[in-house]
Amino acid sequence: MYDIIIIGAGTAGMTAAIYARRASKSVLVLEAGAYGGQIINTPDIENYPVEAHISGYDFATKLYEQTAALGAEFAFERAEKIELNGDVKTVVTPYNRYEAKAVIIATGSSNRKLGLPREDELTGRGVSYCATCDGSFFKGKKVAVVGGGNTALEDALYLSDIAETVYLIHRRGDFRGDEATAKRLADKQNVKFVLFSRVTALIAEKRLTGIEVTKNDGTVSTIDLNGLFVAVGRIPENRKFGNVLELDGAGYAVSGESCRTITPGVFVAGDNRAKEVRQLVTAAADGATAATEAVKYLNTL
Amino acid sequence: MVVKVTTENFDEEVLKSDKRVVVDFNADWCGPCRMLGPVIEQLSNEHPEVKFVSVNIDHEDELAEEYMISSIPCLVVFKDGAEIRRSVGFKPKDALLQLLG
């Protein structure tokens, strides 16, 4: 039995592991994909204290090496559920059942999809969820960004320097995202706003060639495109843990700043927690808090 | 071992290969690609019956264009000169084993 199992090897999870190991607790970190989480897609991090510039890959790798050197164990297995049996928590993966006295859920979030037919099949064939990752494939081409938040606006701005034309498709007339970014976009000659509209179909043979757009009044039109960048928000990865968490309307795990949940001995850290700011440094902060609280909990057993 | 392949030798190394070939389209600036690299290397050592090659899309934009790569990492599986499967994004080893078929 481990003292603490941490689900998710992103910034929150690995920081939690560092704090837990420094408190001499045994730690297992479970990760379904690559260590590092969402940050590995970021080419250049410029807002993390001390390092003026670091790539997401280097950040994640340094954090992983630091965590592993402190003696945290890693298993690259997907946590499917948490079972409670008295004070013992069992985390079930497709291959193993791991027991712990405390669990920190640091599973982060994933891209929200449009939910259109063929969307999965066309991902990587013209449909993308990451402008900074895939933008360079669309030099001098026609692309669209769908969404109205900061990510959508920043993606459109980034792509406007690469692509020939950028359509920004949004279901409302105003943006949730930063007004200053929206103004900068309005000044760009090659950015076209398609407002009060939704993407209602993907047009493709082998590869995306266009989209069908439906205006709120029901008018349907098509736009010829090479690429569609989907930026309609993210989904917290809490769905498998509904038995131990209280979720808010958007699916985020409710906890105070203590990172404690409704289940004693179960903590939550990072982007899947209900909070105002989701940044690299707040993910790290959550990891520190959750681990410290978990250690406190272990000492009461 | 994973061999680097270019536009010049793609025909020879991939399309005319007797073995099934997994082509890893990647770039140095792509974090998930760098995560995937060691997994591919490991698979290549464990599966000598499959050939694993790597294409840097920044140097080989013709190949990226020809195979309609618009997101990386992208793994394309070839058999007898034709694409049979592809996978986009970082995937753990188990998922890649399924891709090999």
- Do residues A274 and A194 both lie within one domain? no
CA A29 to chain centre: 18
- What was the pLDDT predicted at B94? 85
A129: nearest CA partner in chain B: B71
- What phi, psi does B62 have (nearest 5°)? -65, -45
Final residue of a structural domain among A191, A214, A230: A230
A138: nearest CA partner in chain B: B70
- Do residues A90 and A152 both lie within one domain? no
Amino acid at site B22: V
- What was the pLDDT predicted at A9? 98
Task: Kindly report the number of other CB atoms within 10 A of residue A195's CB atom.
Answer: 15
Question: Would you call B92 and A33 a contact, using CB atoms and an 8 Å cutoff?
Answer: yes
- What was the pLDDT predicted at B101? 75
- Do residues A296 and A284 both lie within one domain? yes
- What was the pLDDT predicted at A42? 87
**Lowest-pLDDT range of A38-47, A189-198, B69-78:** A38-47
Q: What are the distances in angstroms from CA A62 to CA A15, A33, A58, A90?
A: 12, 17, 6, 30
CATH of residue B13's domain is 3.40.30.10
Query: ∠ at Cα A208 (B64, A188), nearest 5°?
Result: 90
pLDDT band at residue B14, thresholds of 50, 70 and 90? very high
What is the domain extent for residue B63?
3-100
- Do residues A66 and A204 both lie within one domain? no
pLDDT above 80 (res A229): yes
- Do residues A104 and A141 both lie within one domain? no
- Do residues A19 and A36 both lie within one domain? yes
- Do residues A71 and A151 both lie within one domain? no
Closest CA to A271 of A234, A230, A222, A224: A234
Q: What is the pLDDT of residues A137-179, one digit of tens each?
A: 999 999 999 999 999 999 999 999 999 999 999 999 999 988 9
Question: Above pLDDT 70, what percent of chain A?
Answer: 100
Mean pLDDT for chain A overall: 96
CATH of residue A189's domain is 3.50.50.60
Return residues 137-196 of A near B (CB < 8 Å): 137-138
- Domains: count for chain A: 2
What is the domain extent for residue A182?
119-230
- What phi, psi does A60 have (nearest 5°)? -65, -40
B73: nearest CA partner in chain A: A124
Q: What is the pLDDT of residues A17-66, one digit of tens each?
A: 999 999 999 999 999 999 999 999 888 898 999 999 999 999 999 999 99
- Do residues A137 and A219 both lie within one domain? yes
Starting at the edge strand found earlier in the chain, the sheet holding A220-224 runs: A197-204, A208-215, A220-224
- Do residues A149 and A192 both lie within one domain? yes
Give the global pTM. Answer: 0.89
- Do residues A105 and A239 both lie within one domain? yes
Q: Write b or e for each residue in A122-137: b if 16 or more Cβ atoms lie within 10 A of its Cβ, otherwise e.
A: bbbbbbbbbbbbbbbb
Q: How far is A253 from chain B (nearest CA, A)?
A: 26
- Do residues A106 and A7 both lie within one domain? yes
pLDDT above 90 (res A68): yes
Contacts of B71 in chain A (CB under 8 A): 123-124, 128, 130, 133-134, 137
- Domains: count for chain B: 1
- Do residues A184 and A128 both lie within one domain? yes
ipTM of the complex, rounded to two decimals:
0.82
Instruction: Say how far apart CA A114 and CA A126 lie, in whole Å.
Output: 14
Q: What is the pLDDT of residues A242-281, one digit of tens each?
A: 999 999 999 999 998 999 999 999 999 999 999 999 999 9
pLDDT, average across residues B84-96 = 90
